[in-house]
């Protein structure tokens, strides 16, 4: 039974790092950067000056695209693509499936005379039509036509994707239904960018900035991932089908020695990383950081932050590239939030900030009292928004996979709180208590008059346990899962912060109009708003049990799992803020909630099926065979030595029998629950009157399949530690995470 495992080990032992022979090593990174992107340089070269300037305006400010431009731009793009040997193009979009989607069309066409031509029109560039019926829509589409449309997002550049020597021109697009509702992750993000820009500008104008034309929200997403050798992977049906191990006893050595984090990167891994970087650099993704992460076989890649829409597209490309390139190196890249129990899972820290059109970071405390005051306003808006909408922000991190991670002493709990660091906290306390004496240096804090002390930005003042930490000039949202799109996290932050900025601006504008001095109005407002939002500020250890009690006392919500997080997604308050700013309509929120709940239920149902399959066909047979071995052994020994021998052997056999019986019992219960849920689904499909809602189904799944699957796993993992290693087919944790 364990032949496959053993063969894999010996083959991996002989695997050499893939030697890389590409331009990256010969040409400088700056030469390579963006060489597969239709970027500003390329546009300027290929477009008439006036067209170039108009397109730039659209791209930078998100102003509406002038349709008369499209044909000219499309032609230039085609020529550029063809010069790279491209034959096909695709609208590249991000449906609610979790990955990106593409449908390739050739530039090749037949003209009226039946002659072959190479064609790419403005119409092809701007709009695509596709059958959307197989994409999740949460019921938006079912009552109408199945048609879906894709529309060019001119704010994100067109790029060329290379695979097996063939290149495809990818046009980032939004995806929406026949009735105009969005069916993707990009659209709400784009909408939120406009909203936060508009509201931030109002604040900037109050502070006398009349030159900035727009405000960008910026994102730097740190991507964690695991690599396992393909040969092990293929022998783990759970990894292949669900991206995580559903069984596996804790390895004797996990991350306890902390010897993997920041450790020297081994040659085979480094070769993979360089390959990734080479591809991403050419795609214009500014990859910067690479290192070993905390868990064995876990790594991280971080790009330099960018405007959030582009950073989100780039994160999709990062995930695709990681996934695709791993195979080439004999690995499989696991982006699941918790591939292995007992070692850390993977997150995607989203570093978020705002920047004006001149590139000034609005979360930078600044040097002058005036800058400090403006900074405090933006800080306050963010803190208040997290306080008021912590439940909504939690939605952006809610997936079946991430449920294993949040609150598991490796990632923040499911409770949102804001970390400010001791110095900034003192300043806020000082504002709240109207105490104008800052504790630090005895200076007075009068907003707009006194200077803030410089805030430390180094690691010493960092709190790694906080879900939403201010790290000097940005917030780091640490709850997002490694496989998730960064779009929901960012569009939700943008929306709720916009609401705060809107309210702040409205009050300040009115006060100033009444003749109140801006500084004084700001001081009063900050005092009120920080006092109100104070319960969300927490600078202690978010992993501690004491915090759970304290957070409950403060009335902070704790949505422990995806279902409870999504249950309140559609609350009146959440729908109101999303629809008020035009980010998601009520119908879009409701449909999205259904899609996310269905995704959750389907994930757990697939996992439960696999637990049953693997439990019955891989684990149970090994356990039974081991029992036979033990029984045969006991019988032979008793023949030689008499009935009273073999006490220890009998004990092992009894233990094996006990676990096997329990495993069987649990598998039976699990199968019954799976059938019960299948019946519910069938009944509601056939009889709409007895429809089980997406929420009800998710609850059934959560409350039945998860505990029963877990019960099966416990017995199976106990058997793994008991049964003869030669009988165990599934590669073990100690091999999966350490042999690569």
User: Residues in the site for ligand ADP, rule: CB under 6 A?
Assistant: 218-220, 222, 289, 302-305, 351-353, 361, 473-474
By rule CB under 5 A, what count of residues binds Mg ion?
Answer: 1
Question: Nearer to Mg ion by C-beta: 218 or 575?
Answer: 218
* Contact partner, 474, from Mg ion, ligand ADP, none, Cβ < 5-8 Å per class: ligand ADP
- Minimum distance of Mg ion from residue 302's CB (angstroms): 5
* Contact partner, 121, from ligand ADP, Mg ion, none, Cβ < 5-8 Å per class: none
C-alpha torsion sign, points 708, 714, 717, 722: negative
- Three-state secondary structure string covering 102-167: CCEEECEEECCCCCEEECCCHHHHHEEEEECCCCCCCCCCCCCCCEEEEEECCCCCCEEEEECCEE
Distance CA 523, CA 526 (A): 5
Q: Residue 610: enclosing H or E segment and its boundaries?
A: helix 586-614
The CB-side HSE value for 218 (13 A sphere, CA atoms) comes to 23
* Contact partner, 500, from Mg ion, ligand ADP, none, Cβ < 5-8 Å per class: none
- Minimum distance of ligand ADP from residue 388's CB (angstroms): 23
Residue 287 exposed, middle or buried by CB count within 10 Å (0-12, 13-18, 19+): buried
By CB under 5 A, name the one of 153, 181, 184, 222 that touches Mg ion: 222
- Minimum distance of Mg ion from residue 293's CB (angstroms): 8
Question: Nearer to ligand ADP by C-beta: 219 or 297?
Answer: 219
Question: Nearer to Mg ion by C-beta: 222 or 717?
Answer: 222
DSSP notation for 357-379: TT--BTTS--SSHHHHHHHHHHH
- Minimum distance of ligand ADP from residue 352's CB (angstroms): 6
Helix (H, G, I), strand (E, B) or coil at 333: strand
DSSP state at residue 444: B
Instruction: Return the range that interacts with Mg ion (CB under 5 A); candidates 221-229, 401-409, 531-539, 652-660.
Output: 221-229
* Contact partner, 218, from Mg ion, ligand ADP, none, Cβ < 5-8 Å per class: ligand ADP
Question: Nearer to ligand ADP by C-beta: 305 or 626?
Answer: 305
Question: Tokens 């993992």 map to which residue?
Answer: 717
Q: Find the residue with minimal CB distance to ligand ADP.
A: 220
* Contact partner, 721, from ligand ADP, Mg ion, none, Cβ < 5-8 Å per class: none
Distance CA 498, CA 191 (A): 12
- Structure tokens of 306? 């960018």
* Contact partner, 440, from Mg ion, ligand ADP, none, Cβ < 5-8 Å per class: none
Question: Nearer to Mg ion by C-beta: 94 or 397?
Answer: 397
- Minimum distance of ligand ADP from residue 476's CB (angstroms): 6
Nearest to 724 by CA among 632, 589, 626, 642: 626
- Minimum distance of Mg ion from residue 587's CB (angstroms): 38
- Minimum distance of ligand ADP from residue 306's CB (angstroms): 8
Question: Nearer to ligand ADP by C-beta: 181 or 222?
Answer: 222
Question: Nearer to ligand ADP by C-beta: 222 or 715?
Answer: 222
Helix (H, G, I), strand (E, B) or coil at 469: strand
Distance CA 596, CA 177 (A): 18
C-alpha torsion sign, points 79, 84, 88, 89: negative
Distance CA 497, CA 164 (A): 44
Instruction: Return the range that interacts with Mg ion (CB under 5 A); candidates 162-170, 214-222, 623-631, 701-709.
Output: 214-222
Instruction: Return the range that interacts with Mg ion (CB under 5 A); candidates 25-33, 219-227, 351-359, 429-437.
Output: 219-227
Q: Find the residue with minimal CB distance to Mg ion.
A: 222
- Minimum distance of ligand ADP from residue 707's CB (angstroms): 35
- Minimum distance of Mg ion from residue 124's CB (angstroms): 40
Strand 468-470 and strand 418-419: the pairing is parallel
- Structure tokens of 159? 């790029």
Question: Nearer to ligand ADP by C-beta: 229 or 277?
Answer: 277
Burial of 3-19, coded b for 16+ CB within 10 Å and e otherwise, reads eebeebbeebeeeeebe
Burial of 699-713, coded b for 16+ CB within 10 Å and e otherwise, reads bbbbebbbebbebbb
* Contact partner, 220, from Mg ion, ligand ADP, none, Cβ < 5-8 Å per class: ligand ADP
* Contact partner, 296, from Mg ion, ligand ADP, none, Cβ < 5-8 Å per class: none
- Minimum distance of ligand ADP from residue 477's CB (angstroms): 11
Question: Tokens 């997936």 map to which residue?
Answer: 399
- Minimum distance of ligand ADP from residue 304's CB (angstroms): 5
Instruction: Return the range that interacts with Mg ion (CB under 5 A); candidates 218-226, 230-238, 441-449, 715-723.
Output: 218-226
Cβ contacts of residue 690 below 8 Å, gap of 6+?
683, 684
- Minimum distance of Mg ion from residue 222's CB (angstroms): 4
Question: Nearer to Mg ion by C-beta: 269 or 497?
Answer: 269
Question: Nearer to ligand ADP by C-beta: 199 or 217?
Answer: 217
Question: Nearer to ligand ADP by C-beta: 92 or 305?
Answer: 305
Residues in contact with Mg ion by the rule CB under 5 A? 222
């Amino acid at each position: 039974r364990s032949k496959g495992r053993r063969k894999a080990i010996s083959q991996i032992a002989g695997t050499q790092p893939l030697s890389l022979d590409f331009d990256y090593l010969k040409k400088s990174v700056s030469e390579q950067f963006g060489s597969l992107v239709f970027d500003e340089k390329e546009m300027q070269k290929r477009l008439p000056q006036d067209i170039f300037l108009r397109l730039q305006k659209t791209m930078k400010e998100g102003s509406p695209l002038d349709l008369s431009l499209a044909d000219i731009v499309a032609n230039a793009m085609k020529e550029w693509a063809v010069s790279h040997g491209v034959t096909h193009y695709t609208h590249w979009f991000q449906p609610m499936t979790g990955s990106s989607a593409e449908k390739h069309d050739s530039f090749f066409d037949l003209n009226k005379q039946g002659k072959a031509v190479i064609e790419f029109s403005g119409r092809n560039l701007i709009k695509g039509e596709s059958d959307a019926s197989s994409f999740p829509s949460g019921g938006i589409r079912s009552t109408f036509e199945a048609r879906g449309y894709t529309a060019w997002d001119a704010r994100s550049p067109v790029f060329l994707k290379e695979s097996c020597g063939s290149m495809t021109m990818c046009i980032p697009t939004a995806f929406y239904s026949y009735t105009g509702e969005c069916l993707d992750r990009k659209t709400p993000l784009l909408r939120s960018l406009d909203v936060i820009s508009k509201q931030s500008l109002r604040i900037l104008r109050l502070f006398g900035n009349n030159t900035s034309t727009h405000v960008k929200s910026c994102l730097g997403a740190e991507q964690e991932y695991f690599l396992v050798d393909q040969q092990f992977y293929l022998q783990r049906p759970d990894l292949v089908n669900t991206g995580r191990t559903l069984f596996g006893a804790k390895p004797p050595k996990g991350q306890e020695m902390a010897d993997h984090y920041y450790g020297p990167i081994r040659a085979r891994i480094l070769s993979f990383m360089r390959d990734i970087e080479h591809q991403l650099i050419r795609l214009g993704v500014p990859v910067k950081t690479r290192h070993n992460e905390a868990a064995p076989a876990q790594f991280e890649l971080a790009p330099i932050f960018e405007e959030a829409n582009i950073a989100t597209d780039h994160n999709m490309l990062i995930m695709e590239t990681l996934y695709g390139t791993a195979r080439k190196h004999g690995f499989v890249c696991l982006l699941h939030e918790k591939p292995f129990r007992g070692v850390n899972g993977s997150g995607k820290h989203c570093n978020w900030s705002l920047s004006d059109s001149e590139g000034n970071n609005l979360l930078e405390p600044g040097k002058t009292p005036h800058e400090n005051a403006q900074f405090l306003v933006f800080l306050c808006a963010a803190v208040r928004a997290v306080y008021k909408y912590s439940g909504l922000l939690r939605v952006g991190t809610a997936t079946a996979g991430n449920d294993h991670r949040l609150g598991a002493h490796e990632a923040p709990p499911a409770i949102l709180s804001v970390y400010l660091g001791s110095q900034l906290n003192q300043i806020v306390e000082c504002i709240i208590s109207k105490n104008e004496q800052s504790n630090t240096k005895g200076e007075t804090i009068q907003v707009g008059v006194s200077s803030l002390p410089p805030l430390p930005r180094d690691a010493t003042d960092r709190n790694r346990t906080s879900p939403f930490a201010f790290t000097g000039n940005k917030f780091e949202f640490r709850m997002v899962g490694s496989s998730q799109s960064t779009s929901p996290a960012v569009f939700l932050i943008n929306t709720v912060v916009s609401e705060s900025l809107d309210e702040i601006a409205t009050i300040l504008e009115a006060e100033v109009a009444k003749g109140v001095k801006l500084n004084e109005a700001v001081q009063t407002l900050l005092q009120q708003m920080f006092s109100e939002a104070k319960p969300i500020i927490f600078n202690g250890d978010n992993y501690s049990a004491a915090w759970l009690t304290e957070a409950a006392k403060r009335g902070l919500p704790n949505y422990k799992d995806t279902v409870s997080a999504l249950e309140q997604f559609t609350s009146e308050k959440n729908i109101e803020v999303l629809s008020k700013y035009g980010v998601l309509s009520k119908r879009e929120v409701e449909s999205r909630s259904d899609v996310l709940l269905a995704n959750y239920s389907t994930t757990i149902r697939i996992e439960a099926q696999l637990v049953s399959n693997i439990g019955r066909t891989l684990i149970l047979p090994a356990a039974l065979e081991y029992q036979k071995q033990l029984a045969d052994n006991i019988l032979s020994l008793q023949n030689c030595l008499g009935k009273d021998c073999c006490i220890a052997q009998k004990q092992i056999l009894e233990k094996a029998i006990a676990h096997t019986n329990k495993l069987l019992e649990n598998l039976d219960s699990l199968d019954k629950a799976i059938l019960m849920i299948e019946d519910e689904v069938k009944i509601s499909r056939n009889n709409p009157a007895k429809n089980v809602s997406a929420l009800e189904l998710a609850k059934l799944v959560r409350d039945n399949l998860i505990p029963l699957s877990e019960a099966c796993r416990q017995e199976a993992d106990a058997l793994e530690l008991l049964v003869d290693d030669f009988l165990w087919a599934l590669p073990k944790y100690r091999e999966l995470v350490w042999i690569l």
